[in-house]
Structure formats: C-alpha cells, structure tokens
Structure 1
Amino acid sequence: MLCSDAKLPQALYGAKIIREAEASFIASGEVSLVELIERAGQAAFDLLTQQQRLGAPIAVFAGYGNNGADAYICATLLLEAGCEVRLYAFDRAEMGEGISHAKSDYIAAGGQILEDLNKVLDGAGVIVEGLLGTGFHGEVKADFVEVIEAINHHDAWTLALDIPSGICADTGAGKLAIQADATVTFGAMKQGLLTGYARHCVGQLWFADIGLMPFLPETNSFNIAFRQSKLGLPIRAKNSHKGACGKVTVVGGDSGMAGAPRMAAESCLRSGAGLVAVISRPQHLPVINFGRPELMFCGCELVDMEVYQRLGWADVLLIGPGLGKYDWGYNLFKAVGLSDRPCVMDADALNFLSQDPYRQENWVLTPHSGEAARLLGVSVEVIEQDRFDAAAQLQKKYGGVVVLKGAGTLIHDGNLCHVAPVGNPGLASGGSGDVLGGIIAALMAQGMSNMDAASAGVVVHGVAADMAAKEGERGMLACDLFPYIRLLVDRI
C-alpha cells in the first residue's frame, strides 16, 4: 500500500528502532529478509507505475547494503515490464543475503551492470537510487561523491528508495545528498525525513506499508503536519465577550523596530485573541495603531507601575519582537521574568535569556538555530547536526515548551516531540517569527495548553505560508499570512 501527504503515518522512528522491529518481524517467521526486500522493491516499482514513469530509459543505482537490494529488485521488475534499464552498482567482497539474492535475480532476468557512469545517465528520463540507505551517518565516502553529484546535476526525475542517500535517518542532517523529486520510505516513517537538510532533498514523500507496523513500539515523536483540525482549540461559547476570549500583551519594539511588535500583535488578533495590548517605545504609537485601531498601546520609556499593570492584565505575555539588545529591552525582559503569567519568548528576549539563563515551566521558547546555539553555548552547525537532540537539550535546560524553528520545525515539551514539515522558503523574510509568536500566544490565551498551542501555532503558520505561496514564494511578506491565519484558526 502506498500513501502520501495527509495519509502518511504520524508516528516517527529512529533507524535503530526500525532495525529492531525488522528483526522481530523476521524472527516471528511471518516473513524472511528476502521477502521483506522484495516487498520494498515491489513498492518502488508500483510507485513508478503509478507516476507513469516507465516510458523513458531508467537509470538505477544500487549500493552494497539492503538499500541496494531494494534497487536491484525494482530494476528486475522494470526489466520484466519491458523497460530499458541501466544499472550502476557498488560491490564489496562480502555481500549480505538480501542483496546477493536480489543481484542474482536481476542478472537471471537478463539485467546487466554497467561500469560507465556517463553511459548509465545518458538520455535517462528516470533515476532510481538506492545507494546508502538508513545505515548512513557522517560523511559520504569518496567513491560515492562522484555518483551523487552526477545524479544531482542530471535533469531526470529522481526517486530515492527509503531515504535520499547522504541524509541521516535519525536527524535529517547531511552535506552532500541526493536531491530527489520523490522518496518512497518503507515500513516506518524515519524522523529524519521531515526536518533539516532532508527537507531540501526528499521531494514528495511516499510511504509503503510492507507489514512492519505491528512490530513497532510506541513512540514519543509524531508528524503533525496534517493534524490542524485535531489540535484542540476550545469551542467559543455563543455568549462570549472580548474579555473571555484571551488577553495578550506584546512586549517589544525598541527604537526603529516598531514593525515587529505590530506584526506580532496583529497576528494575535487574527488568531482569535479578544484583546491585545502592546508595550513599546512611546514614539511607536502611530505605527502600532495606524490601520489597526483595535490594538491597545502602552508607551514605555521606563518600567513603571503602568507597565506592570499591563503585564498583570494579560492572560499571556509575548516578549521579544524588536526588543533590541540594550538596557530598555533588558529591563522589560526582567519585568516579564517577575510575572507569573504564561509567556511566549522570542527573538531578542531569547538572546537576553542566553546571557541570564533560568528555567521556567509556563513558557514557550521559539528559537531559530542561531538563537538555539546561543542558548546552549554551541555552534549553529551543532544544532543542525541533530535538531532532535538540540530541542531536547533546550527543553531540559530551560523547561516549558521549545519550538525549534526551521525547515521541519520541532516542538518539544520534555516528553513529546512534534515535527511540523510545513511552510516554504517564502518564510525566510523579516517578521515571520513575530507572526508565529503571535499565533502561539493567542492560542494559549484562548485556553489551549502550551504544547497544543505551540504545535497548532506552528502548523497554522506553515500552512498559511503554503497557501500564501500559491502567488509566489519569492517576495512573500509576513503580513501576507494574515488572511489565511484567520481561515485556519477556525478549523482547529
């Protein structure tokens, strides 16, 4: 059975757990290793058939592990279907049972193994690659580099088997990897397919059920990309009033940065918050209220009783958008730290937190990789090497809920890890994070738990961006999301 998009399994697993499940499946006597590989190869062939990719010459690339065995099986089926198949393979002295069987079947079917890479690729309309698989981690070995680069420079439609070669199945990290048009993963969803560099390489993701799922254990990692209608926003009573629909105070906007709190505050309103106030520099009043008179404003030069009253008035605080790096912003950061209100902490507030760290349970932290690196005292490269571990370490150190933003955002509460492979490169523009913070704060203020609000907020933000991007990713602005946010929050 093949499925994609909203029908993908939500449960996510690491490679070790999947290998153990495969071993248990085989040990049960229900299937042999060879039969398991044959199911995977058949699924790849079925996808090629479904996608109508059998007409052009097909270049198949096989490594020397079970991923290569999948490629051999698929190549054999393609030969039997009358396709022109050109297979390039990596061999080693000791070959496992699965690939030895698959290779023998391919040769018995009349298949040939070509040694000239250029001849394999010349005129190919489809590429099927099964080079490295889920056992890969670290650096791509030199003998594979030339092949991966050649595939990536070719214009043929490319299908990756199980995972694009060069991507780590556990983390999604990679430096050189196959950039596929589609990936068909077998048996279980690998968590690394949904985040990090993998998001650039996977293409359309397909899942093939080969019978493994009953042998998989419970997991604490889930794909929530298609759960926006099940994330738990309380139904609004017919006799609701503005004070009962959530009050949010947005704190930020040092000199010259009025736009950030304005976008965050409007995002709160568009996400259903009943009342929203902004604490910012007094000179920012015209910018904050122009075109959005629904926002309340508190001008702040010094943290005084009026500021504390506005903080205490709110159900939820959002601090960070445009907060700046100087005393004005730091004093507000300290004032918010004295409050007992749930809080979303973003942007410059996270930079202050990295300098003055403490732990709290009733907040949501929303760092991107650079901010996460500062919070943990490591490099951005370390964060991107294992985003799952980085999110867990951030939550362990700072508490609450951590939203590690990026391609395939992670939401971690110390127990569950939600992965949201939503959004697009159009979000790589100023203000996108401010809008996300506003959505999360508004959902918290309307009664959602911090984890549910963070998860739903990320999904709404990303899906809104995907809807806005239908008019083009390049040049998309953060404010372009507002009409779609309003539509989406009614669905959760």
Structure 2
Amino acid sequence: MRADLVQLPRALFRASTIREQEPRLAEQLNIPLYQVMEAAGEAAWQQLLRRWPQCQALVVLCGGGNNAGDGYVLARLAKAQGRQVRLLQAQPERALTGDAARAQQAWLASGGEVLPLQQIPADGSLYVDALVGTGLRGPLRQEMAQWVEQLNRLNAPVLSLDIPSGLNGETGAVTGLAVKATHTITFVGVKPALLTGAAREYVGELSFAPLQLGQALAARPADVLLGSPRQLKDWLPDRSVASHKGQHGRVLLLGGEAGMGGALLLAAGAALRVGTGLVAAMGHQSVVAPMLARHPEVMVEALESEALAQRLAWADAIVLGPGLGQGAVAAQCLPQVLAQSQPVLLDADGLNWLAEHPRHQDNWVLTPHPGEAARLLGCSVAEIEADRFGAARRLQQRYGGVVVLKGPGTLIDGGDGPQLLLPVGNPGLATGGSGDLLSGIIGGLLSQGLAPMSAACAGVLIHGEAADDALGPGPKGMLPSDLLPHIRNRVNQGDV
C-alpha cells in the first residue's frame, strides 16, 4: 500500500455524513464553522509548503461554495508569506455567501485581488483547485468542465482541496471530467470515495487534516473501514515449532477445463505459498501432468464424480472457478459443491454459473470483477463503477456470504457492519491469471481456519502487497506467477 495511504485513519466517513455532522459537532464543541474553514486553509497551506517548498507563484481557482472559502484562506496565508498569488473566481458576479463570503472579504482586506475566471493562465508554478467540493453528484456544468479541461491540459502540479473538482463525493465516480490532482488534502474525515474506482486516477497523493472536528467525528461508528497491511500479523499468527501439515488446512481447487489449466495451476501455487498444509486440485485430465510438473506438492487428479465426492468430504475449504469453463464439468460439480457446509470461494465461471442460477448462501466468498458483478446484478459495468459501494452491498444482499468487489480500491462486504476498503495493488494485476492467484490465496486462508471476512481481507492485502513487491521496472509485462515468491514473503513477515 502506498505510504500516504498507510498514514490515513482506519475509520472513513462518507461526504454526506460529514456534511450532516459538521454543524452539529461544531455546536457541541462551541467552535464557529468559520474557524474550521480557517483551519482547513491553514492545513492546506502547510501541506503545500511540505510538498512544494520552493513554490513562489500560485494560481488559486475558486468556485462558489465553502470549498472556495478554503481556497481564499490559503491564498491569504500564501500572500502573507510573500508568495505571488493570483486568485481567479468563477462567476464573480454571483456573490459568495456565509463563511465563504467572510473568507473572501478577509482576502480582499489583506490587499488581495479577485480576478474573473475566464482563461486559466499557463504560467503558474502550482495550481490550487478550490472549484467544486464534495456535494457534486452529476457532471460539471459546461463552463466549469471547460476550466477543468484547461487545467488538466497544463500538466502542472495541482493541489485539490478536500476533493478533486468533478469527482462524486459519495461514490468517487466521474461523469465527464474531473481535475487530475497531484495531491489532495481532505478535511475533517477521510472520504471513502477518494480511494476506489475512478477516483484513484484523479486524487494523486492523499493527506488528511482532521481540523477541530475530526476527533469528535471519529468517535462515531465509521461508514467504511480502511484495511492496512499492518493487520496481517493479527490474522496470520506465528507457527508453533511443533506444528504439522494437518494443522494448516486442506483446500480443494476445482477448475482447469481443457485449454484453461493455467488458471488452476496459478491458484494451486498461491494456495501453497500462503501456507496451506495440504492442497488438492481437480480438473480436466489434460491438467494433471502439467500440475505435477509445476507443483509436485499438489494432489491432482481428473475431475470425476466419485473422486469428487471423496475430495469434498476431505476438504476444509473449496475453491470453485479458476479455468472451470461453462461446460459439462461445471454442470457436474457445481450442485455437489454448493451442497457442502465448508467455506466455498466462487470465482470466474463459478460466478457466471451463479448469475444464471441465483441463490443465497452464507458459507461462501464471492470475488467478482466489475464485469462479473454486472452479470450477477443484471446491469452494466458502467452502473457498477458509478457506485461501487452500492454495488458491493447489493451483491451481498442478493447472494449472501462475503463479497469481494475487485478493482482499484477493492471493496469487501460481509453484510454486517461497515464495508472494508483496500486500496492495494497496481496496474500490473491487469492481466489474465491475477484473479486466480487471489482465489488460491483466500481459499488457502479459509482452509487454515480464518473466518470468511478475515480470509477475504487478508487475502486481498497479501495479493496487493505481493503485486507491489513484484513490480520491478514497472507494471507492463508483470506476470501473475511473478507474485508467488512475494506471497510467501508477505505471509511470513510476522515469523522469526
């Protein structure tokens, strides 16, 4: 996980929650909201100094709400420190109101000038985005979109205040255009919308300033929880020197239809590397020899009805889907598998079968990517990405168990309690076979006795961190098999 994200608090709060709670908390703490605005501008200025200490020329772009007020405060503080500041106001003929108007007056009283935002100058060394805050729900209006497009074309450093303008503050989706920030500083509470889906392309580095209200907000139940690699040691205890293979789980992997055996090999390798005591795999006859050659530690055999029944009774956990296909093999084994009481992980063609035969079970982990999620919910991929939080919750409510909605900023929903958000991994995972690794990792952890929610969270973290460890010169050309030794390293970090 990126260093800036590791520093964030675990409790995340939706933008709507923060807007609702801010006036209440300020009243309870007897703090005028204008003081909170001043603190936001001060925090942004301090972050600017840390990130760009040599910056001498700022262009501050202000819209019409409280986000603009934060920009006015920052501009005043920068000017007081001798920086050259140009402040451009969108629609200056429309008067600001409330605390934003007060911040504007303080800027004018300091000798600052308000320039009309018509064309963004190209000679700034740093741009401050205070155009649109977290309340945006649809696309930017045409004039604002033109300014955002101009700003992005400059390819210059941009500091966004609270949220990059154009991002949906609740979901992180982008309808049309949004500012591509170099750095975003968010206030009072960290918004989960900044950490998943399209937002990962626009937020840049992320920092957090709780201001005077953050501590009181954090005392409330979180809307979403942020996962961290630091949690792995809690899920993966050190092994006793007297332990043996029978104490570390038995996982059965089912898939590997003709021509798709590689998926089963990858899943088996990941299950081994995550420390599973015994790994068995069943697939098409053609996968047996390659599996033995690649992983002699795996007990592999052709998928046949009688042998399957014996292996199902043997297994502590089952993984169904890697390279399964949608033919006779899948039709043969799916009903038998879903009748079991052990934890089951369903991925790939297992999920495609589920989309055609919907059912609700509590003993499984479902790991769809957005395309599979769209099939499961009978909607488009665009609808999934427009609200990943809502999509994960609908999947869990419809199908039960634990849902892992993959993608940038993976979401995990277990039905009870807040969702978990895990912004791990990198674009090198955008290649066939990466999901099969994750299936093997989570399946192996399930067999070792981790609860489904814990296995899903630990599995996603191990998978994402191993991908970063394997990144090497860059994401292009990174193979799923490159992760295998790093998976082993990650699960052993707590051991001597």
**TM bucket, shorter chain:** over 0.9
Contact 2:61 / 2:117 at 8 angstroms: preserved in 1?
no
Could you tell me how far apart the structure 2 residues matched to 1:348 and 1:189 are? 36
Give the equivalent residue in structure 2 for 1:310. Answer: 311
Give the equivalent residue in structure 1 for 2:436. Answer: 434
The 5 Å alignment of 1:172-211 reads 172-175=172-175, 176-211=177-212
CA pair 318-7 structure 1, distance change in 2 beyond 3 A: same
Could you tell me how far apart the structure 1 residues matched to 2:230 and 2:372 are? 28
Percent same amino acid at aligned positions?
42
Give the equivalent residue in structure 2 for 1:291. Answer: 294
Could you tell me how far apart the structure 2 residues matched to 1:277 and 1:77 are? 64
Q: Secondary structure at the match of 2:16?
A: helix
1:485 aligns with 2:487: yes
1:417 aligns with 2:419: yes
The 5 Å alignment of 1:93-104 reads 93-104=94-105
Question: What is the CA-CA distance between 1:155 and the residue it aligns to?
Answer: 2.0
Question: What is the CA-CA distance between 1:306 and the residue it aligns to?
Answer: 0.8
Gaps of 5+ in 1: none
Question: What is the CA-CA distance between 1:215 and the residue it aligns to?
Answer: 3.0
Superposition TM-score, scaled by structure 1 size: 0.96
Contact 1:59 / 1:127 at 8 angstroms: preserved in 2?
yes
Superposition TM-score, scaled by structure 2 size: 0.95
Question: What is the CA-CA distance between 1:231 and the residue it aligns to?
Answer: 4.1
Give the equivalent residue in structure 2 for 1:160. Answer: 160
CA pair 469-391 structure 1, distance change in 2 beyond 3 A: same
* Equivalent position amino acid for 1:247 in 2: R
Question: What is the CA-CA distance between 1:117 and the residue it aligns to?
Answer: 4.6
The 5 Å alignment of 1:3-152 reads 4-28=4-28, 30-91=30-91, 93-115=94-116, 117-118=118-119, 120-152=120-152
Could you tell me how far apart the structure 2 residues matched to 1:144 and 1:251 are? 52
Name whichever of 31-40 and 228-237 sits farther off: 228-237
Q: How many equivalent residue pairs? A: 487
Gaps of 5+ in 2: none
CA pair 418-227 structure 1, distance change in 2 beyond 3 A: farther
Give the equivalent residue in structure 1 for 2:281. Answer: 278
Name whichever of 146-155 and 213-222 sits farther off: 213-222
The superposition leaves residues 303-350 of structure 1 with CA deviations (integer Å, 9 ceiling, x where unpaired) of: 421111112211110010111122222222222112222111101100
Give the equivalent residue in structure 1 for 2:363. Answer: 362
Question: What is the CA-CA distance between 1:446 and the residue it aligns to?
Answer: 1.2
Could you tell me how far apart the structure 2 residues matched to 1:324 and 1:409 are? 25
Could you tell me how far apart the structure 2 residues matched to 1:434 and 1:131 are? 43
CA pair 228-463 structure 1, distance change in 2 beyond 3 A: farther
The superposition leaves residues 170-222 of structure 1 with CA deviations (integer Å, 9 ceiling, x where unpaired) of: 11111311111111001101010110111111111100120212332212510
1:241 aligns with 2:244: yes
Contact 1:232 / 1:448 at 8 angstroms: preserved in 2?
yes
Question: What is the CA-CA distance between 1:136 and the residue it aligns to?
Answer: 0.9
Question: What is the CA-CA distance between 1:57 and the residue it aligns to?
Answer: 1.9
* Equivalent position amino acid for 1:475 in 2: G
Could you tell me how far apart the structure 2 residues matched to 1:55 and 1:132 are? 24
Give the equivalent residue in structure 1 for 2:227. Answer: 224
Contact 1:48 / 1:54 at 8 angstroms: preserved in 2?
no
Give the equivalent residue in structure 2 for 1:324. Answer: 325
Question: What is the CA-CA distance between 1:29 and the residue it aligns to?
Answer: 5.1
Give the equivalent residue in structure 2 for 1:403. Answer: 404
Could you tell me how far apart the structure 1 residues matched to 2:383 and 2:55 are? 44
Question: What is the CA-CA distance between 1:25 and the residue it aligns to?
Answer: 2.4
* Equivalent position amino acid for 2:419 in 1: C
Consecutive aligned runs of 4 or more in structure 1 exceeding 6 Å deviation: none
* Equivalent position amino acid for 1:251 in 2: L
Question: What is the CA-CA distance between 1:471 and the residue it aligns to?
Answer: 2.6
Give the equivalent residue in structure 2 for 1:471. Answer: 473
Name whichever of 127-136 and 28-37 sits farther off: 28-37
Contact 1:265 / 1:278 at 8 angstroms: preserved in 2?
yes
